Structures are given as C-alpha cells and as structure tokens.
Amino acid sequence: QVQLMESGGDSVQSGGSLRLSCAASGYPYASYCMGWFRQAPGKEREGVAAIASDGTTNYADSVKGRFTISQNNARTTLDLQMNNLQPGDTAMYYCAAGWPGPCTVAVGEKSDGGYWGQGTQVTVSS
C-alpha cells in the first residue's frame, strides 16, 4: 500500500522560508514521478514542482527561483525548500506520486490518478 505523509507546514511571515518533507512508502515502481501541489480555499489545485526518477525537475512559473524540489536516492523522502515566501503561497500543500502521463506539474495538477498525501498547511502573512 502506497503511503505519502507530509510534514513541515507552518505559519511564517512574508520573506520567510520553510522546508516541507514527504515520507513515502509502499512504492510499486521506482520510476514514478513525484511532486508537490497546493490548493488554496476557493481555488483549483495548482502544481508547484515535480521530479522524475532521473532527477529532472519541473516548476510552476510562480515558484521558479524560490522553491527547490529534491529527493533522496531511495526516493523515500521528497522535500520542498521554499524561500522568500509570499502571501500568495498560502495553501494546503500535497505530496503526490505516480500520476499518469508526463512528469510535469501541468499534467499532475489535472490528474485524478496516482497517490496523494493528506496535506500540510502553509500560511504566509504580510
């Protein structure tokens, strides 16, 4: 059984940093794409960052240069380093893996497939 568990969400002031982590277990395929997504109240799910098994990354334009996605060699931990946080980054952040199709945030954010965690809340105040 695939399990994804996020941690690291918190409340910070604008310009601050947070590091989110996702503990993954039960993967049937090491080649799965993994990523981070977010959803704010009243808004649709938005892709943040994705990483393929070969380390290729893909970011939403809104976070490029501020966020960095990384994984350990065993692909059991997926991290998201978030710097220079802004109020617009406030959302529930979800870890996901194994959605069908290309390993991009644009595909993942629209997918009903794959595996998803329960989320961790990030709140940024001005």
Q: Phi and psi (nearest 5°) for 81?
A: -85, 125
Query: Judging by beta carbons within 10 Å of its beta carbon (0-12, 13-18, 19+), is residue 117 exposed, middle or buried?
Result: buried
Residue 113 above 90 pLDDT? Answer: no
Residue 25: CB atoms within 10 Å: 10
Give pLDDT, residue 29.
66
Instruction: Please write the tens of the pLDDT for every residue from 41-99.
Output: 999 999 999 999 999 999 999 999 999 999 998 889 999 999 999 999 999 999 999 99
Looking at every residue in the chain, the average pLDDT score rounds to: 94
Q: What is the DSSP letter of 109?
A: T
Q: Place 31 in a pLDDT band, splitting at 50, 70 and 90.
A: confident
Give pLDDT, residue 26.
85
Three-state secondary structure call for residue 35: strand
**How many residues does the structure list for the chain?**
126
